[in-house]
Amino acid sequence: MSSTSTTLVDRLLAGLPAGAVHTDPDVTASYARDTASFCAAGVPAAVVLPRTVEQVQHVMRTATELRVPVVPQGARTGLSGGANAVDGCLVLSLVKMDRILEISPVDRIAVVEPGVVNAALNRAAGELGLAYPPDPSSWETCTIGGNIGTAAGGLCCVKYGVTAEYVIGLDVVLADGRLLRTGRRTAKGVAGYDLTRLFVGSEGSLGVVVRAVLALVPKPPERLVLAAEFPSAAAACDAVCRIMAAGHTPSLLELMDRTTVRAVNSLARMGLPDTTEALLLTAFDTADPAADLAAVGALCTAAGATEVVPAADRAEPELLLQARRLALNALEAVKGSTMIDDVCVPRTRLGDMLTGVERIAEKHGLTIGVCAHAGDGNTHPTVCFDAADPEETRRARASFDEIMALGLALGGTITGEHGVGVLKKEWLARELGPVGMEAQRAVKHAFDPLGILNPGKLF
């Protein structure tokens, strides 16, 4: 260990228990990156796992004093390299701060630490007749802090909205160790600038979230699911437009293309229809879900569905949703590596997006599967490639960039819920433009003038 590293560790240990600081190379390497492929990661000087707000403050004061970069992390389920280490950094893992501090059925809020797992919060809220709706595909392992950092979405966002709509207050440790409180715990509040929303989606670049006040909703009724098979992805997208134009509010509206369906079947033997070109899953948790599903089924048939199948029993919806949650893992198994786009387009351009992706896959001779939160227009084109093959890797990168460009050309955005991280930072400037980037950098400088918080991400 160098003298600089020794000084850093000694200073950290002055305010942390010995078990909270790790410098063993095997341990630090295991914290070096998130789930994203194709993103560079550096070698951390140390990994710190605090359990209290005061310990986080000590870490940040030490980092500021010694000018050491800090990379905040949750469960590292991110898909854009936003939690990847940089050389010589402190990895600040918040997973040990995992307490649910309060759930109030009257105020309909939960107060939690950042390491609370999404599914654990939902189960705890469910015991009191409440729910926390944002449900990323990794909800059984991802943390609330990570969800806040990336402004995560999920399968149910078409009806219930995304993380930003449920975070109403935050405690944030700033770069210099000061504690900032934003937002409220009341049903309404408009005092001052909305700094809470500013931190949601900031990917740990402005401060370290150490406590969150989250809005809850009454636990929805049990949902019913309908599966519709289509002869083309374009027909499935037409059905999505018909469903939304008719005024329906499904609790879930998810699409898997042929490549994704076959990958899920190969991985998990789910028995999904291999013959379909696109599979659309629709769910309702309304007072009369059967009637809503019947109406949507008719719209799917009108759009060209070859088969429309309501769930046969209460267990089948969860099986279908599990198939959808497995999509990204299944596509990764196709070739061993993936580059996952996260392009959101207007619903009216969803069909153009999927058709364009098909053309890009054919042009580059690659397998690209698409699953989508179709009700939001949020697509996840997933480029499957062999990372050991330089030429295939080059084509994968080229196709990824072409998909990003296609999304912007269709009036979309480069990320609907995964964040920018390392993977998409060159595209952020293209989407925001020079004036937008100048404003973004000014905000960053106001909160982190030394640039030590998650450097190399976003910009």
Q: What is the pLDDT of residues 240-250, one digit of tens each?
A: 999 999 999 99
Q: Is 283 exposed, middle or buried (CB count within 10 Å of its CB: 0-12, 13-18, 19+)?
A: buried
What is the model's pLDDT at position 1? 56
What is the model's pLDDT at position 408? 97
Kindly give, in sequence order, each residue whose CB lies less than 8 Å from that of residue 379, ignoring residues fewer than 6 positions away: 341, 342, 343, 344, 345, 350, 353, 354, 357, 370, 371, 372, 407
Please tell me the distance from the alpha carbon of residue 282 to that of residue 300, in angstroms, as a whole number.
Answer: 10
Please tell me the distance from the alpha carbon of residue 129 to that of residue 161, in angstroms, as a whole number.
Answer: 19
Instruction: Quickly count: other Cβ atoms within 10 Å of residue 459's Cβ.
Output: 15
13, β-bridge pairs: none
Please tell me the distance from the alpha carbon of residue 202 to that of residue 199, in angstroms, as a whole number.
Answer: 5
What is the model's pLDDT at position 273? 83
For the chain, residues with pLDDT lower than 50 are none
Please give the angle made by the CA atoms of 279, 376 and 306, to the nearest 5 degrees.
20
What is the model's pLDDT at position 269? 84
For 99-220, where are the alpha helices, taking DSSP H only? 118-126, 144-150, 157-160, 195-199
What is the model's pLDDT at position 411? 98
For the whole model, what pTM was predicted?
0.94
Q: Domains, the chain, ranges and CATH?
A: 3-93 (3.30.43.10), 100-218 (3.30.465.10), 224-409 (3.40.462.10)
What is the model's pLDDT at position 3? 56
